Chain A
Amino acid sequence: NAGVMQNPRHLVRRRGQEARLRCSPVKGHSHVYWYRQLPEEGLKFMVYLQKENIIDESGMPKERFSAEFPKEGPSILRIQQVVRGDSAAYFCASSPRQGSNYGYTFGSGTRLTVV
């Protein structure tokens, strides 16, 4: 069991470029959550996905951000036309069932730097 795998670990993008962050959940987990962590701040919820469905995207900015979790392959968090304020650590977590009391398993994150 390899746990939650996120790649890349570090990503540098120039302003205006696109960033694609990938997350492979724990094998057998069909629930994926994305969180953003700014320096000296806690984890802010962005989006919750199940296979092929977005369940809750209330924490995701309406523009430039999108997420998917296809039937096959990893979950993708996509940020278009990145700005400096998007610089943060982005963490993906997975769980085996609906309901947060089963505990989340987090990946090691992708650290996005926008220059």
Chain B
Amino acid sequence: QQQVKQSPQSLIVQKGGISIINCAYENTAFDYFPWYQQFPGKGPALLIAIRPDVSEKKEGRFTISFNKSAKQFSLHIMDSQPGDSATYFCAASKGTSYDKVIFGPGTSLSVIP
């Protein structure tokens, strides 16, 4: 119930292409879904987040799509660049009161020129 599943484990995309990472959860009490980006040797950094009252959120080239009925959400990176190469973690929590953030296992993205 506390798990967040994430796929694919790794992804290779050509420069300029679209990177898509998918996540799924089971706990319907989750109401906050952040994505974190992690470069080698660094800590994760908050990239973008969504709450379930909206189906999509866009920030620059990054878009989260959210399907509440399917309990799935995804990250789309448009016009992917080599600088986007990193590990991406989806996560979930009951954001309105304290609860720990549960992270997915991560997706290693490589954008090749």
Contacts and interface: CB of A to CB of B under 8 A. Distances in A.
A55 B100 CA distance: 10
B100 A48 contact: yes
Q: How large is the interface on B (under 10, 10 to 19, 20 to 34, 35 or more residues)?
A: 20 to 34
Q: How large is the interface on A (under 10, 10 to 19, 20 to 34, 35 or more residues)?
A: 20 to 34
B101 A104 contact: yes
Contacts of B43: 4, 6, 91, 93, 106-109
Nearest to A109: B43
Interface in B61-109: 89, 93-106
Contacts of B103: 35, 42-44
Interface in B15-66: 32, 34, 36, 41-46, 49, 51
B97 A98 contact: yes
Contacts of A35: 103
A106 B32 CA distance: 18
Nearest to B2: A45
B105 A41 contact: yes
Given A91-B43, A101-B49, A107-B43, A42 B93 contact: no
Most buried by A among B43, B46, B95: B43
Interface of B: 6, 32, 34, 36, 41-46, 49, 51, 89, 93-106
Given A42-B103, A109-B42, 5 more contacts: A42-B104, A59-B100, A91-B44, A93-B43, A103-B34
A99 interface: yes
A44 B89 CA distance: 12
A48 B95 contact: no
Contact of B97 (A45, A99, A105, A108): A99
A45 B100 contact: yes
Given A42-B103, A42-B105, A43-B44, A100 B89 contact: no
B98 A99 contact: yes
A34 B5 CA distance: 21
A101 B100 contact: no
A103 B6 CA distance: 20
Nearest to B45: A106
